[in-house]
Structure 1
Amino acid sequence: MSLLGQPAPDFTLPSTLGQPVTLSSYRGQKHVVLVFYPLDFSPVCSMQLPEYSGRQDDFADAGAVVLGVNRDSVYAHKAWAAEYGIEVPLLADMNLEVARQYGVALDERGISGRAVFLIDRGGVVRFEHVEAQTGEYTVRPEVVLAKIRELA
Protein backbone atom coordinates (compact mmCIF):
# COMPACT_ATOMS: atom_id res chain seq x y z
CA MET A 1 0.00 0.00 0.00
CA SER A 2 1.45 3.33 -1.02
CA LEU A 3 0.65 6.59 0.75
CA LEU A 4 2.35 8.69 -1.94
CA GLY A 5 0.26 11.76 -2.75
CA GLN A 6 -2.15 10.94 0.11
CA PRO A 7 -2.73 12.91 3.31
CA ALA A 8 -0.42 11.46 5.96
CA PRO A 9 -2.29 9.55 8.69
CA ASP A 10 -2.31 11.79 11.76
CA PHE A 11 -1.21 10.54 15.16
CA THR A 12 -0.16 11.60 18.63
CA LEU A 13 2.58 9.61 20.40
CA PRO A 14 4.61 9.96 23.60
CA SER A 15 8.09 11.30 22.87
CA THR A 16 11.54 11.94 24.31
CA LEU A 17 10.62 15.65 24.30
CA GLY A 18 8.66 15.03 27.50
CA GLN A 19 5.29 15.68 25.92
CA PRO A 20 3.31 13.91 23.20
CA VAL A 21 4.00 14.82 19.59
CA THR A 22 1.10 15.25 17.15
CA LEU A 23 1.96 15.03 13.47
CA SER A 24 -0.65 17.60 12.38
CA SER A 25 0.88 20.20 14.74
CA TYR A 26 3.61 20.70 12.10
CA ARG A 27 1.10 21.36 9.31
CA GLY A 28 1.63 24.70 7.60
CA GLN A 29 4.98 25.12 9.34
CA LYS A 30 7.45 22.34 8.59
CA HIS A 31 8.03 19.32 6.39
CA VAL A 32 8.22 16.15 8.50
CA VAL A 33 10.58 13.24 7.92
CA LEU A 34 9.20 10.16 9.68
CA VAL A 35 11.87 7.54 10.20
CA PHE A 36 10.42 4.17 11.23
CA TYR A 37 13.02 1.75 12.56
CA PRO A 38 12.80 -1.67 14.23
CA LEU A 39 14.57 -1.42 17.60
CA ASP A 40 16.61 0.89 19.80
CA PHE A 41 20.15 -0.42 20.43
CA SER A 42 20.17 -2.65 17.32
CA PRO A 43 23.20 -2.38 15.00
CA VAL A 44 21.67 -0.82 11.87
CA CYS A 45 19.35 1.51 13.79
CA SER A 46 22.33 2.66 15.87
CA MET A 47 23.92 3.81 12.62
CA GLN A 48 20.79 5.22 10.97
CA LEU A 49 19.30 7.44 13.68
CA PRO A 50 22.60 9.07 14.74
CA GLU A 51 23.24 9.79 11.05
CA TYR A 52 19.85 11.54 10.69
CA SER A 53 20.38 13.30 14.01
CA GLY A 54 23.81 14.53 12.89
CA ARG A 55 22.20 16.19 9.85
CA GLN A 56 19.52 17.91 11.96
CA ASP A 57 20.81 21.38 11.06
CA ASP A 58 20.61 20.56 7.35
CA PHE A 59 17.03 19.38 7.79
CA ALA A 60 16.18 22.51 9.81
CA ASP A 61 17.71 24.69 7.06
CA ALA A 62 15.48 22.86 4.56
CA GLY A 63 12.43 23.61 6.74
CA ALA A 64 12.03 20.06 8.01
CA VAL A 65 11.91 18.18 11.30
CA VAL A 66 12.99 14.54 11.71
CA LEU A 67 10.98 12.21 13.97
CA GLY A 68 12.12 8.67 14.81
CA VAL A 69 9.32 6.15 15.45
CA ASN A 70 9.36 2.61 16.81
CA ARG A 71 7.76 0.33 19.36
CA ASP A 72 10.22 0.90 22.18
CA SER A 73 9.20 2.88 25.26
CA VAL A 74 10.14 6.50 25.87
CA TYR A 75 12.48 5.19 28.62
CA ALA A 76 14.35 2.94 26.19
CA HIS A 77 14.44 5.80 23.66
CA LYS A 78 15.97 8.18 26.23
CA ALA A 79 18.66 5.69 27.25
CA TRP A 80 19.52 4.92 23.62
CA ALA A 81 19.52 8.61 22.61
CA ALA A 82 21.83 9.44 25.52
CA GLU A 83 24.25 6.64 24.62
CA TYR A 84 24.36 7.45 20.91
CA GLY A 85 23.97 11.24 21.03
CA ILE A 86 20.66 11.18 19.17
CA GLU A 87 18.97 14.57 19.35
CA VAL A 88 15.95 14.08 17.09
CA PRO A 89 12.71 13.34 18.95
CA LEU A 90 12.00 9.62 19.29
CA LEU A 91 8.35 8.58 19.47
CA ALA A 92 7.00 5.51 21.26
CA ASP A 93 4.55 3.54 19.07
CA MET A 94 4.36 0.70 21.58
CA ASN A 95 1.36 -1.11 20.08
CA LEU A 96 2.49 -0.47 16.46
CA GLU A 97 -0.73 1.44 15.76
CA VAL A 98 1.04 4.18 13.79
CA ALA A 99 3.28 1.67 12.00
CA ARG A 100 0.08 -0.11 10.88
CA GLN A 101 -1.40 3.18 9.60
CA TYR A 102 1.72 3.65 7.48
CA GLY A 103 1.77 0.01 6.34
CA VAL A 104 5.12 -0.80 7.94
CA ALA A 105 4.14 -2.91 10.98
CA LEU A 106 5.70 -6.37 11.07
CA ASP A 107 3.16 -7.79 13.47
CA GLU A 108 4.54 -11.32 13.40
CA ARG A 109 7.84 -9.94 14.74
CA GLY A 110 6.33 -7.25 16.97
CA ILE A 111 8.34 -4.46 15.33
CA SER A 112 8.03 -1.93 12.54
CA GLY A 113 9.99 -2.20 9.34
CA ARG A 114 12.63 0.34 8.37
CA ALA A 115 10.98 3.09 6.34
CA VAL A 116 11.18 6.81 5.62
CA PHE A 117 8.22 9.05 4.80
CA LEU A 118 8.54 12.69 3.77
CA ILE A 119 5.42 14.68 4.57
CA ASP A 120 5.17 18.20 3.17
CA ARG A 121 3.94 21.28 5.03
CA GLY A 122 0.45 20.58 3.73
CA GLY A 123 0.40 17.16 5.39
CA VAL A 124 0.76 15.14 2.15
CA VAL A 125 3.19 12.23 1.74
CA ARG A 126 5.67 13.30 -0.98
CA PHE A 127 8.25 10.52 -0.68
CA GLU A 128 8.22 7.06 0.87
CA HIS A 129 10.72 4.26 0.99
CA VAL A 130 10.24 0.96 2.81
CA GLU A 131 13.32 -1.26 3.01
CA ALA A 132 12.83 -4.81 1.74
CA GLN A 133 14.67 -6.17 4.81
CA THR A 134 14.88 -4.59 8.27
CA GLY A 135 18.67 -4.99 8.15
CA GLU A 136 18.93 -2.75 5.07
CA TYR A 137 19.53 0.99 5.28
CA THR A 138 19.66 2.47 1.79
CA VAL A 139 17.89 5.83 2.12
CA ARG A 140 20.49 8.08 3.69
CA PRO A 141 19.75 11.61 4.97
CA GLU A 142 21.16 13.24 1.81
CA VAL A 143 18.57 11.41 -0.33
CA VAL A 144 15.74 12.80 1.81
CA LEU A 145 17.29 16.27 1.88
CA ALA A 146 17.37 16.25 -1.93
CA LYS A 147 13.67 15.28 -1.99
CA ILE A 148 12.86 18.16 0.40
CA ARG A 149 14.72 20.62 -1.83
CA GLU A 150 12.67 19.39 -4.80
CA LEU A 151 9.50 20.48 -2.96
CA ALA A 152 10.65 24.11 -2.84
Structure 2
Amino acid sequence: MGDLAPDFTLPASSGQTVTLSSYRGQKNVVLVFYPLDFSPVCSMQLPEYSGRQDDFADLDTVVLGINRDSLHTHKAWAAEYGIEVPLLADMKLDVARSYGVAIEDRAISGRAVFLIDKEGRVRFRFVEEKTGDYSVRPEEVLKKIREL
Protein backbone atom coordinates (compact mmCIF):
# COMPACT_ATOMS: atom_id res chain seq x y z
CA MET A 1 0.00 0.00 0.00
CA GLY A 2 1.09 3.54 -0.63
CA ASP A 3 2.75 2.81 -3.97
CA LEU A 4 2.05 5.11 -6.88
CA ALA A 5 -0.78 3.62 -8.95
CA PRO A 6 0.17 2.59 -12.48
CA ASP A 7 -0.99 5.33 -14.85
CA PHE A 8 -3.08 4.57 -17.90
CA THR A 9 -5.20 6.13 -20.61
CA LEU A 10 -8.26 4.24 -21.86
CA PRO A 11 -11.36 5.02 -23.93
CA ALA A 12 -14.57 5.34 -21.91
CA SER A 13 -18.19 4.51 -22.62
CA SER A 14 -18.92 8.25 -22.30
CA GLY A 15 -16.98 8.86 -25.51
CA GLN A 16 -14.09 10.49 -23.67
CA THR A 17 -10.61 9.23 -22.99
CA VAL A 18 -9.73 8.78 -19.32
CA THR A 19 -6.20 9.21 -17.97
CA LEU A 20 -5.77 8.18 -14.35
CA SER A 21 -3.12 10.81 -13.57
CA SER A 22 -5.50 13.59 -14.64
CA TYR A 23 -7.30 13.10 -11.31
CA ARG A 24 -4.14 13.70 -9.24
CA GLY A 25 -4.51 16.57 -6.81
CA GLN A 26 -8.26 16.68 -7.47
CA LYS A 27 -10.08 13.40 -6.85
CA ASN A 28 -9.73 10.02 -5.23
CA VAL A 29 -10.36 7.22 -7.73
CA VAL A 30 -11.97 3.82 -7.21
CA LEU A 31 -11.02 1.35 -9.94
CA VAL A 32 -13.47 -1.51 -10.19
CA PHE A 33 -12.05 -4.31 -12.34
CA TYR A 34 -14.64 -6.88 -13.36
CA PRO A 35 -14.63 -9.83 -15.79
CA LEU A 36 -17.40 -9.24 -18.34
CA ASP A 37 -20.35 -7.02 -19.16
CA PHE A 38 -23.71 -8.82 -19.03
CA SER A 39 -22.45 -11.53 -16.66
CA PRO A 40 -24.66 -12.17 -13.59
CA VAL A 41 -22.32 -11.00 -10.81
CA CYS A 42 -20.99 -8.03 -12.77
CA SER A 43 -24.57 -7.01 -13.55
CA MET A 44 -25.14 -6.75 -9.79
CA GLN A 45 -21.80 -5.18 -8.83
CA LEU A 46 -21.52 -2.24 -11.23
CA PRO A 47 -25.12 -1.03 -10.81
CA GLU A 48 -24.50 -1.07 -7.03
CA TYR A 49 -21.44 1.15 -7.39
CA SER A 50 -23.26 3.35 -9.89
CA GLY A 51 -26.18 3.75 -7.48
CA ARG A 52 -23.81 5.15 -4.86
CA GLN A 53 -22.18 7.65 -7.22
CA ASP A 54 -23.46 10.66 -5.24
CA ASP A 55 -21.98 9.25 -2.03
CA PHE A 56 -18.62 8.83 -3.74
CA ALA A 57 -18.85 12.33 -5.26
CA ASP A 58 -19.51 13.79 -1.80
CA LEU A 59 -16.09 12.40 -0.83
CA ASP A 60 -14.33 13.84 -3.91
CA THR A 61 -14.15 10.39 -5.47
CA VAL A 62 -14.85 9.04 -8.94
CA VAL A 63 -15.60 5.39 -9.72
CA LEU A 64 -14.28 3.84 -12.93
CA GLY A 65 -15.28 0.37 -14.15
CA ILE A 66 -12.65 -1.47 -16.20
CA ASN A 67 -12.72 -4.66 -18.23
CA ARG A 68 -11.81 -5.99 -21.67
CA ASP A 69 -15.16 -5.47 -23.35
CA SER A 70 -15.56 -3.05 -26.25
CA LEU A 71 -17.07 0.42 -25.96
CA HIS A 72 -20.07 -0.82 -27.94
CA THR A 73 -20.70 -3.58 -25.39
CA HIS A 74 -20.10 -1.18 -22.49
CA LYS A 75 -22.66 1.28 -23.87
CA ALA A 76 -25.30 -1.42 -24.41
CA TRP A 77 -24.76 -2.90 -20.94
CA ALA A 78 -24.79 0.52 -19.26
CA ALA A 79 -28.05 1.41 -21.02
CA GLU A 80 -29.72 -1.88 -20.07
CA TYR A 81 -28.66 -1.78 -16.41
CA GLY A 82 -28.70 1.97 -15.78
CA ILE A 83 -24.97 2.13 -15.10
CA GLU A 84 -23.75 5.71 -14.97
CA VAL A 85 -20.11 5.27 -13.93
CA PRO A 86 -17.64 5.46 -16.82
CA LEU A 87 -16.79 2.02 -18.19
CA LEU A 88 -13.29 1.80 -19.61
CA ALA A 89 -12.28 -0.55 -22.42
CA ASP A 90 -9.03 -2.39 -21.57
CA MET A 91 -9.34 -4.67 -24.59
CA LYS A 92 -5.74 -5.91 -24.52
CA LEU A 93 -5.75 -6.26 -20.70
CA ASP A 94 -2.70 -3.99 -20.43
CA VAL A 95 -4.13 -2.09 -17.46
CA ALA A 96 -5.34 -5.28 -15.77
CA ARG A 97 -1.80 -6.68 -16.15
CA SER A 98 -0.23 -3.54 -14.67
CA TYR A 99 -2.48 -3.92 -11.61
CA GLY A 100 -1.83 -7.67 -11.37
CA VAL A 101 -5.43 -8.73 -12.00
CA ALA A 102 -5.35 -10.13 -15.55
CA ILE A 103 -6.45 -13.75 -15.88
CA GLU A 104 -4.48 -14.63 -18.98
CA ASP A 105 -5.84 -18.12 -19.66
CA ARG A 106 -9.40 -16.74 -19.75
CA ALA A 107 -8.49 -13.40 -21.39
CA ILE A 108 -10.37 -11.41 -18.73
CA SER A 109 -9.60 -9.29 -15.72
CA GLY A 110 -10.32 -10.62 -12.28
CA ARG A 111 -12.74 -8.93 -9.93
CA ALA A 112 -10.81 -6.34 -7.92
CA VAL A 113 -11.20 -2.94 -6.29
CA PHE A 114 -8.43 -0.36 -5.89
CA LEU A 115 -8.74 2.91 -3.99
CA ILE A 116 -6.31 5.54 -5.23
CA ASP A 117 -5.97 8.74 -3.22
CA LYS A 118 -5.65 12.27 -4.57
CA GLU A 119 -1.86 11.90 -4.60
CA GLY A 120 -2.14 8.92 -6.94
CA ARG A 121 -1.21 6.32 -4.34
CA VAL A 122 -2.94 2.97 -3.81
CA ARG A 123 -4.58 3.06 -0.36
CA PHE A 124 -6.78 -0.05 -0.58
CA ARG A 125 -6.58 -3.15 -2.75
CA PHE A 126 -8.85 -6.14 -2.76
CA VAL A 127 -8.73 -8.94 -5.32
CA GLU A 128 -11.36 -11.68 -5.24
CA GLU A 129 -10.01 -15.22 -5.33
CA LYS A 130 -12.83 -16.31 -7.65
CA THR A 131 -14.36 -14.16 -10.37
CA GLY A 132 -17.84 -15.22 -9.26
CA ASP A 133 -17.32 -13.75 -5.79
CA TYR A 134 -18.33 -10.18 -4.92
CA SER A 135 -17.53 -9.25 -1.36
CA VAL A 136 -16.27 -5.64 -1.44
CA ARG A 137 -19.45 -3.60 -1.52
CA PRO A 138 -19.55 0.16 -2.11
CA GLU A 139 -20.16 0.87 1.60
CA GLU A 140 -16.85 -0.75 2.54
CA VAL A 141 -14.99 1.36 -0.02
CA LEU A 142 -16.78 4.51 1.17
CA LYS A 143 -15.63 3.69 4.70
CA LYS A 144 -12.03 3.35 3.48
CA ILE A 145 -12.28 6.74 1.74
CA ARG A 146 -13.54 8.38 4.94
CA GLU A 147 -10.49 6.95 6.73
CA LEU A 148 -8.03 8.66 4.34
Q: TM-score, normalised by structure 1?
A: 0.97
CA-CA distance at 1:19 after TM superposition? 1.5
Indicate the residue corresponding to 2:62 in structure 1.
65
Q: CA deviation at 1:17?
A: 1.6
1:37 correspondence with 2:37: no
Matches within 5 A, 1:105-124: 105-124=102-121
Q: Tell me, which stretches of 5 or more residues in structure 1 are unaligned?
A: none
CA distance in 1 between partners of 2:6 and 2:82 (Å): 29
> Which amino acid in 2 is paired with 1:65?
V
**Inter-partner Cα distance in structure 2 for 1:62 and 1:20:** 23
- Alignment-mate amino acid for residue 141 of structure 1: P
Counting aligned pairs with the same residue, the percent is: 78
Which of 69, 81, 86 does residue 78 from structure 2 map onto? 81
Aligned to 2:45: 48
Count of aligned positions: 148
TM-score normalised over the length of structure 2: 0.99
4+ runs deviating over 4 angstroms: none
User: Following the alignment from structure 1 to structure 2, what is the Cα–Cα distance between the partners of residues 81 and 17?
Assistant: 10
- In structure 2, runs of 5+ residues without a counterpart are none
Q: Which amino acid aligns with 1:93?
A: D
Q: How does 1:16-31 map to 2 (within 5 A)?
A: 16-31=13-28
- Give the distance between the partners of 1:74 and 1:120, measured in 2 at CA: 27
Over aligned residue pairs, what C-alpha RMSD do you find? 0.4
